[in-house]
Structure 1
Amino acid sequence: MRARAAQLIFVALFAVLTLAAGCAANPSATTPSPPPLDPPSADWTVDLAAFAAQDAADPPPQRPVVFTGSSSIRLWQTLAEDFPGVPTLNRGFGGSQLRDVAHYADTLAIQYRPRMIVIYGGDNDINAGRDAQQVLSDFRAVVARIRSDLPDVPIVYLSIKPSPSRESQLATQREANAAIRAEAARWPRVEFVDVATPMLDAGGRPRPELFVEDRLHMNRDGYALWRRIVAPHLK
């Protein structure tokens, strides 16, 4: 009886070790495949060419913190002075959606071998009619794409901001933010940073004093608020 029990234990241990060895030899066996992506939301050829021209004229810093995403990033022109001592690189492209960041992650971020990537997206996605689950799926695709080349680089996602011009979309924004917060917690070195809540007044409405006349893009006060929120998360 003891011999039979010992034999069964040996077989079980052998099976476990064999499975572990197989997973080590084939990492994709334990790594989920990235979700399918819809085509890019627009033709970004001109924007990508502009980034290449900027790199040629003024080489980017070594191992920068790359900021990428839509116009809230593109218009953040004070990154260097807002985060002194941190080598920053702005690769925001106005009007973009999260799936665009996934499609062009190599050009926007990976090629620079960054120390960290900060992403803002989801705002334009919802405005274009995508629902919270589609935004969540595109967020997963962005993270999976970056992780395929940069498995250890920290990723910071800035929550979808509330703005007066898109106040009717607040419920979908909240749903997407909550879903992405939960998803980010499942990934190592992926952090969800809530910039949305401090941009609401006591009644839960977007604070108009943080925005320029179009009531969509932020003014200096809006970016000053973001700077205070984001600074503790930069490395």
Structure 2
Amino acid sequence: MLMLLAAGLLADPVPVYVIAGQSNAEGYGVPHAQLETIDDVTVVWPGRAQKEVGPLQAGWGANEKMIGPEYGFGQAMQRHHQSPVVLLKTAWGGKDVWCDFRSPSAGDFNWAEQQMKTREEREGRSRKVGAFFNAMVDNIEVGLHQAQVHLGRDDLELKGLVWFQGWNDYCQWPVEEAGSPCGRGIIERYPHNLKHMLCDLREALNDTTLPIVIGELGVHGSDVPKSRSGWALRAFRTAQSETASQLDHCCLAPTASFWDTQATDHWECHYNGSAKSYLRIGRTFALHLLALDALPDGQTLKWQASQKGLQAMLRRYPPKSGGLALWGSSIFRLWERAPAHFSEFEVTNVSFGGARSWETLHYADETLFPIQPSTIFYYCGSNDVNAGADAASIAERFRLFSELTRDRLPHTKIFFGAINRSPEKKERWAVVNEANQLVGSYCETQDGRTFVDLNQVLEADDGSTRQDMFLPDQLHLTERAYEGFARVMREALEQKVQSP
């Protein structure tokens, strides 16, 4: 007992992640291949009819033959933490936010909700408002205790929550009552209800900044039909996105691209029962949560206005998919002749001044990935160094960006431009060098990832800084430097094309 206590005192706290919602959080994926047991990941599901606590393996879905998002999620989290992880599931099929999960601060029903409730009561259906919000809070508290007992440790830390729900708020869209479109009103009310529910949940868990990922309702995939039901689905996804944008430490994780048209193991509302879809969905949930958690203590997300402007421009003048995108900070934003240097590509420069690696992670889904580039030139890290970041965290955030890109754009290649040893940050060159070394080592182990040493352009043969490469601020670059960047980047591109 003394040894166990000592181990608990010396080890880092065990991270706990909650996966909550309705039937897709339960999971209806039917695996057609064996999935290994991952002993370092403990799953806890209070009140489940089958086992409530055990290692991560197939069978933690809606029944003991199925999987949900927990398997891919747990795989990704274990890889990241390299230590024990707890996944706490709390989910019930067929539940909505406007009634079942309604929380106290959502207030009274509006016209649409009242009409829906009156209709249900007339048909002999009765539900207790908010019953499953209360049950969810209770389950999280019970599950944390179960995990402590199972692991023999008290040092558990709640690190984030995934909310994966929506079908039962969306599927009411055709309902009308006395000629009034109350079903569509439920969709319009969804951002209000979900925002209040998530805020109330944070309050109940005593963590008002708990990172939250909202899983997109991705059924039917990205090719939504131009029909009334298609309109409703697009409206619902917009409502989910609006909710994420209204909350701090919250983001939307797209899932529509994981739609599996070949699967036929369950209903379409359950992603056709595709284990492949649920695995990828769980993985993207984990990556999005880790991206939220990548924000260092004492730092904030900046540049929201510039991102909104970029996104509006890209919607108005969408580039062709398959081009070259420049992504990162001002070192690439100021590369004005990049389109001329790489004229064989359609070049889109969406870099933004002042970017830190946590911002390139956070904004990639809304700004970079919709472009669908085949190639990304990435430069970020200089501003991290100025903010006092250590090399390992810079490299880890690039790894997360790389994995998130692989998840969203599996065939896209990334070329990481080495963080510049600029005279302006000479006192922290040791951090720059270590970060470059760590990223370079990572890229060597990954298909489609290349480290490009840009510093060879900025330095003379004896290693001294070439002053003709830098502007007077000793940070930003002259046109001669960009000519050199174009040369070494092209060499890396051509080498990648020629390699088997």
Say whether the fold is shared (TM-score over 0.5): yes
Q: Distance in 2 between matches of 1:98 and 1:109?
A: 14
1:37 is the counterpart of 2:50: no
Alignment of 1:36-75 (within 5 A): 36-38=293-295, 41-75=300-334
Name the counterpart of 2:358: 99
Moved more, 96-105 or 40-49: 40-49
Contact 1:164 1:207 in 2 (8 A): no
Contact 1:68 1:90 in 2 (8 A): yes
Contact 2:310 2:350 in 1 (8 A): yes
Deviation at 1:139, TM superposition (A): 1.1
Q: Distance in 2 between matches of 1:123 and 1:98?
A: 9
Moved more, 107-116 or 50-59: 50-59
Alignment of 1:115-154 (within 5 A): 115-154=374-413
Q: Distance in 1 between matches of 2:430 and 2:459?
A: 13
Q: Distance in 2 between matches of 1:108 and 1:162?
A: 28
Name the counterpart of 2:34: 21
Q: Distance in 2 between matches of 1:163 and 1:104?
A: 26
SS at match of 2:427: helix
Deviation at 1:132, TM superposition (A): 0.6
1:233 is the counterpart of 2:461: no
Which residue among 177, 182, 204 is the counterpart of 2:463? Answer: 204
Deviation at 1:205, TM superposition (A): 3.1
The alignment's TM-score, normalised by the length of structure 2, stands at: 0.41
> Could you list the per-position Cα deviations for residues 120-166 of structure 1 after superposition, in whole angstroms to 9, with x for gaps in the alignment?
01111011100111111111111122122122211111110111212
Contact 2:311 2:367 in 1 (8 A): no
Among the aligned pairs, what percent are the same residue?
27
Contact 1:126 1:169 in 2 (8 A): yes
Q: Distance in 2 between matches of 1:180 and 1:100?
A: 18
**Residues 50 and 21 of structure 1, relative CA distance in 2, 3 Å threshold:** same
Moved more, 48-57 or 170-179: 48-57
Aligned-residue Cα RMSD (Å) equals 2.4
Deviation at 1:169, TM superposition (A): 1.8
Deviation at 1:30, TM superposition (A): 5.5
Contact 2:302 2:359 in 1 (8 A): no
Which residue among 407, 432, 438 is the counterpart of 1:179? Answer: 438
1:162 is the counterpart of 2:421: yes
Which residue among 318, 332, 336 is the counterpart of 1:77? Answer: 336
**Residues 50 and 203 of structure 1, relative CA distance in 2, 3 Å threshold:** same
SS at match of 2:389: coil
SS at match of 2:424: helix
Contact 2:350 2:367 in 1 (8 A): yes
Which residue among 208, 218, 221 is the counterpart of 2:480? Answer: 221
**Residues 19 and 57 of structure 1, relative CA distance in 2, 3 Å threshold:** closer
* Larger helix percent: 1
Q: Distance in 2 between matches of 1:50 and 1:206?
A: 36
Q: Distance in 2 between matches of 1:56 and 1:104?
A: 15
Q: Distance in 1 between matches of 2:337 and 2:385?
A: 27
Deviation at 1:188, TM superposition (A): 1.7
Moved more, 161-170 or 90-99: 161-170
Q: Distance in 1 between matches of 2:415 and 2:357?
A: 14
Q: Distance in 2 between matches of 1:56 and 1:28?
A: 31
The alignment's TM-score, normalised by the length of structure 1, stands at: 0.83
Q: Distance in 2 between matches of 1:154 and 1:30?
A: 23
Contact 1:68 1:108 in 2 (8 A): no
The amino acid of 2:448's aligned partner reads R
Deviation at 1:206, TM superposition (A): 2.4
Q: Distance in 1 between matches of 2:364 and 2:471?
A: 29
Contact 2:328 2:379 in 1 (8 A): yes
Q: Distance in 1 between matches of 2:311 and 2:369?
A: 14
1:109 is the counterpart of 2:368: yes
SS at match of 2:35: helix
Unpaired segments ≥5 residues, structure 1: 1-17
**Residues 41 and 196 of structure 1, relative CA distance in 2, 3 Å threshold:** farther
Number of equivalences: 218
Contact 2:379 2:416 in 1 (8 A): yes
Q: Distance in 2 between matches of 1:42 and 1:157?
A: 22
